């Protein structure tokens, strides 16, 4: 019988969360809402995105990387079998939302509910025990099941300081960091993820009036029942995020996605923002998080996948790295980093102590005020996410307590010390607020300015940032984020686990990204161009069909020197060394699909992908112009390709059809 045999969902082991005590059973008739995350149907890998890529449109994403209709239908059939209601089915977001009673959901997912009481607030929350079970039919389809545990998953990363003697308005901080002038972020939408609190429009009006700025457009978006509900301590977080972004990118639209503080709410909020085809945010700012190991593996995977989706869609996600130093405040004498800032698809934002006047920085060091009980920047090395390709040359150390070669946190930094904090209006009063919660929106505002100036989103910018060296950054070389006398970590020249690459020089970063955009984010392919005057332009119609062949790199090491030196006469498993990797082939296929080209052949063994398309499409895809010389088609400009293909494509053939060789035979008359 269908759906009778069951298996354990990988990574669903329940994680102990300090501060919560079992309180008793859950009311079996209570309604439970569950988000089921499904696998992608496409083949764009994490490694491909981490190394640079071309973003997809919403339609392209849904077509190439959303969930398949058959997978969605099978989950719906399971829901019907289990007596659950299908509230939403969204293949593009790869999720199916189900509702049922606690008793029905327990039976459907083979888990047991229990109430947990928070030691700090006294409130009780539904949680679960053990693992999650799913039918065998779904074991390769379902990635995560969220919503079974309703305990809070994250904290806001802001700190107030009523005794601060130095403080700045956000525009003053932007001036110190040389933010681009003459742009306001007009035409951009910045999304903010909030898991509690709210804002009052009257406060926003008064605040921006005090800065001599127009009140930006701010919209509250409800996710999973979350709402703009001012009146709690989290209001400081919400107002900090809105007011920093609105002050440094005053022309941008701001959309605040309010969601419950659960793994389900957090993931759904990011997914909704990334896939929002109405508001179309180009940046998402997140100032909430928690220690990596406070998340179950399946919840962490779901969050990471949501951030990967955002990166694939060309949305930059800035995330605060935490305010509790190298231990992330866990208190177990171990090193921890904060999640989701430790996701390789996040732009992790650390903190500094900033001093300066006008546009001149006089001092900037790592933020560490733990001696005064006022926090320190989060940072370190992930224990779960491997070192991403873009950090290969950054000098990220191994996680010293586990020896794991992990993702380094943060990537960048900015003013976060509450003793040099931001002047923010909350519930009718101005106060000084700091924390890495200020740095995520500070960078989000900068990116909105850059996006407006560039005329296109910078998207997942980590690979580009790490390729710049020190260009575009104030390198922070003084201080540490050690909060428990473990000796970790210290600032140094270049990237470090306290402030990453450093704080921004906005104008320099814009210039660096502008140089890439001027070539359409494409890089030239080496090769000669016909001499001037030898080409007649515009001979053939734009809709003429042409072909081109992309030649790929070998997947194995180069053994040419060994062959030439005579040290070997034959290479074992040569077919494996001389072929292209399936991942490289898949990346070229994705590039072709994006530009509407037909794949005539994709052959890893011959390291080639042959494409067909109209002259207009091929010229646009490869940034090349055509003409003719005599009776031959030929290119009249260099070929260019996106950075995502620059290391894997070694040649693009077919644009120049002139004869390239002649036969070496001769004849002479006989007799």
What whole-number distance in Å separates Cα of residue 109 and Cα of residue 257?
Answer: 29
Select from 288, 303, 290 the least CA-distant residue to 234.
Answer: 288
> CB of 39 within 8 A of CB of 140?
yes
- For residue 241, indicate whether it is catalytic: yes
114 within 8 A of 129, measured Cβ to Cβ: yes
Q: Are 85 and 98 in contact (CB under 8 A)?
A: yes
* Assigned token pair, 465: 């940032």
Rounded CA separation 378/290 (Å): 11
Catalytic residue, from 71, 241, 369, 584: name it. 241
Q: Tell me the residue ranges of DSSP E strands in 461-607.
A: 473-474, 503-504, 523-524, 536-537, 545-552, 598-603
**Any idea which residue has 């080496």 for tokens?**
526
- Residue among 50, 104, 237, 263 flagged as catalytic: 237
Q: Looking at the chain, how many residues does it have?
A: 671
- Alpha-carbon radius of gyration of the chain: 27
Peptide linkage before 410 cis (omega within 30 of 0): yes
DSSP 173-218: HHHHTT--SS---TT-EEEEEESS----HHHHHHHHHHTT-PPPPE
**Calpha distance 151→116 (Å, rounded):** 8
Nearest-angstrom CA–CA distance, 366 and 498: 7
**What's the token pair of residue 279?**
């508001």
What is the rounded distance in angstroms from the CA atom of residue 558 to the CA atom of residue 425?
61
* CA dihedral sign, ordered 299, 300, 301, 307: positive
DSSP 439: H
Q: Is the CA virtual torsion 494, 500, 505, 506 positive or negative?
A: positive
Catalytic one among 144, 282, 294, 437?
437
How far is it, in rounded angstroms, from Cα 294 to Cα 397?
A: 23
Cis bond leading into 259, ω under 30°? Answer: no
- Provide the total of helices (H) and of strands (E) in the chain, helices listed first: 17, 36
Whether 437 is a known active-site residue: answer yes
Token pair, residue 488, equals 């970790």
- The CA distance from 583 to 561, in Å, is 26
Kindly state the helix (H) or strand (E) to which residue 156 belongs, with its residue range.
Answer: strand 155-156
Contact status, residue 264 vs residue 146, Cβ threshold 8 Å: yes
Token pair 């308005």: residue: 169
End-to-end CA distance of the chain: 90
Reply yes or no on whether 483 is catalytic. no
- What secondary structure does DSSP assign to 347-388, as a single string? EEEEEEEEEEETTEEEEEEE-B-GGGT--B---EEEEEEEPP
In this structure, are strands 640-641 and 523-524 parallel, antiparallel, or unpaired?
antiparallel
Q: How far apart are CA 26 and CA 113, in angstroms?
A: 6
What backbone torsions phi and psi does residue 33 show, to the nearest 5 degrees? -110, 125
CA 48/CA 414 separation, integer angstroms: 29
Give the catalytic positions in this structure.
Answer: 237, 241, 437
């Amino acid at each position: 019988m269908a759906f009778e045999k069951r298996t354990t969902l990988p990574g669903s082991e329940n994680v102990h969360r300090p501060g919560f005590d079992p309180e008793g059973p859950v009311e079996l008739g209570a309604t439970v809402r569950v988000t089921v995350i499904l696998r992608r149907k496409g083949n764009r890998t994490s490694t491909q995105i981490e190394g640079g890529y071309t973003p997809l449109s919403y339609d392209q994403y849904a077509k190439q990387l959303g969930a398949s209709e058959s997978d969605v239908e099978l989950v719906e059939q399971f829901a019907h079998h289990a007596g659950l209601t299908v509230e939403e089915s969204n293949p593009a977001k790869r999720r199916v939302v189900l509702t049922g009673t606690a008793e029905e959901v327990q039976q459907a997912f083979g888990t047991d509910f229990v109430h947990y009481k928070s030691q700090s607030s006294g409130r009780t929350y539904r949680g679960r025990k053990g693992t999650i079970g799913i039918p065998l039919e779904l074991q390769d389809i379902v990635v995560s099941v969220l919503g079974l545990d309703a305990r809070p998953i994250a904290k806001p990363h802001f700190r107030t300081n009523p005794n601060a003697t130095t403080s700045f308005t956000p525009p003053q901080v932007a001036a110190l960091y040389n933010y681009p002038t003459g742009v306001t972020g007009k035409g951009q939408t910045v999304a903010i993820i909030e898991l509690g609190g709210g804002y009052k429009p009257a406060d926003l009006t008064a605040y921006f009036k005090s800065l001599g700025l127009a009140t930006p457009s701010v919209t509250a978006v409800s996710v999973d029942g979350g709402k703009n509900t001012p009146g709690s301590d989290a209001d400081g977080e919400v107002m900090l995020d809105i007011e920093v972004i609105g002050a440094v990118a005053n022309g941008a639209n701001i959309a605040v996605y309010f969601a419950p503080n659960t793994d389900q709410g957090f993931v759904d909020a990011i997914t909704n923002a990334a896939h929002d085809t109405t508001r179309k945010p180009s940046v998402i700012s997140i100032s909430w998080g928690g220690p990596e190991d406070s998340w179950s593996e399946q919840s962490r995977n779901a969050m990471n996948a949501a951030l990967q989706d955002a990166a694939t869609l060309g949305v930059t996600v800035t995330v605060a790295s935490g305010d509790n130093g190298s231990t992330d405040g866990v208190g177990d004498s171990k090193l921890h980093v904060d999640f989701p800032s430790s996701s390789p698809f996040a732009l992790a934002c650390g903190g500094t102590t900033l001093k300066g006047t006008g546009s001149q920085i006089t001092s900037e060091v790592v933020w560490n005020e733990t001696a005064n009980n006022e926090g320190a920047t989060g940072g370190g090395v992930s224990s779960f996410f491997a070192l991403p390709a873009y950090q290969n040359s950054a000098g990220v150390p191994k996680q010293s307590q586990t020896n794991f070669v992990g993702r380094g946190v943060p990537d960048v930094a900015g003013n976060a010390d509450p003793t040099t904090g931001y002047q923010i209006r909350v519930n009718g009063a101005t106060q000084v607020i700091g924390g890495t919660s200020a740095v995520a929106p500070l960078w989000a505002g900068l990116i909105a300015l850059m996006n407006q100036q560039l005329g296109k989103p910078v998207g997942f910018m980590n690979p580009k940032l790490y390729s710049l060296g020190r260009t575009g950054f104030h390198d922070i070389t003084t201080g540490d984020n050690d909060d428990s006398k473990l000796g970790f970590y210290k600032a140094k020249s270049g990237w470090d686990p306290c402030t990453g690459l450093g704080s921004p020089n906005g104008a320099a970063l814009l210039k660096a990204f502008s140089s890439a955009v001027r070539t359409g984010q494409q890089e030239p392919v080496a090769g000669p161009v016909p001499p001037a005057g030898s080409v007649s332009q515009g001979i053939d119609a734009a809709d003429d069909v042409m072909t081109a062949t992309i030649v790929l790199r070998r997947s194995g090491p180069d053994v040419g020197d060994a062959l030439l030196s005579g040290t070997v006469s034959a290479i074992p498993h040569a077919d494996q060394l001389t072929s292209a990797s399936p991942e490289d082939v898949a990346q070229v296929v994705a590039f072709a699909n994006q530009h509407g080209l037909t794949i005539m052949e994709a052959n890893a063994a011959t390291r080639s992908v042959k494409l067909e398309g109209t002259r207009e499409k091929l010229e646009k895809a490869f940034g090349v112009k055509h003409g003719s010389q005599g009776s031959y088609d030929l290119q009249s400009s260099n070929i260019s390709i996106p950075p995502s293909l620059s290391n894997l494509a070694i040649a693009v053939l077919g644009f120049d059809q002139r004869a390239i060789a002649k036969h070496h035979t001769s004849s002479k008359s006989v007799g």
